[in-house]
Amino acid sequence: MRNTLIVAAVVSAMGSMAASAAGGPAATPDRFVFESIDGGQIDLAAFSGRPVLVVNTASQCAFTPQYDALQALYDRYREAGLVVLAVPSDDFAQELDTEDAVKEFCEVNFDLDLPMTEITHVRGPAAHPFFRWLAEDAGFSPRWNFNKVLIGPDGAVVATWGSTVGPTSGRVTREIEALLP
């Protein structure tokens, strides 16, 4: 019985890898779920067919003022379908200690209403499965806070940007606008 379970697990994993290599369903990020800072979950499948900008964030970083631009971007394009997802992370030792502190900081200082996850690992073996997938399948791993990943309506990674590229820069908005109806 144990050998049957092991074989089934290996066959399943190989099928997932083959589907991923072929660009099948396993190759898309819509299979990932994050814990929401507001409670509950953020299921990327709920955003299928829409562009999603995923940004690893931190409250005590020189790039933290980008929260204003992330909210402006969300306000500008949300009616057309854009989702901006903030993923607070302490992987670079610049995040507050608790989700409550992060949520309060963002509400008070930036009036954020965009979706936000709980504090999440974005690098290394403890990284959230989305960020492990991003590193393995798309070859991108955040090098610092406020790295941006644009996922197209079809689930493909469209573009990635580092911390120094502002959320409302032409480089970012041109890519987003090309994906909107």
- What would the pLDDT profile of 105-164 be if each residue is shown by its tens digit? 999 999 999 999 999 999 999 999 999 999 998 999 999 999 999 999 999 999 999 999
Residue labelled with tokens 């670079």: 92
Catalytic, 61? Answer: yes
Q: Which of 19, 26, 33, 61 is catalytic?
A: 61
Q: Quote the strand ranges of 16-152, DSSP E.
A: 33-35, 41-43, 52-57, 83-88, 148-151
141 within 8 A of 130, measured Cβ to Cβ: no
Q: How far apart are CA 124 and CA 132, in angstroms?
A: 8
The residue extents of the domains of the chain are 1-26, 32-179
CATH number listed for the domain at residues 32-179: 3.40.30.10
> How many residues can be counted in the chain?
181
Q: What are phi and psi of 117, to 5 degrees?
A: -90, 175
Instruction: Fill in the amino acid letter for 5.
Output: L
* Total-model pTM: 0.84
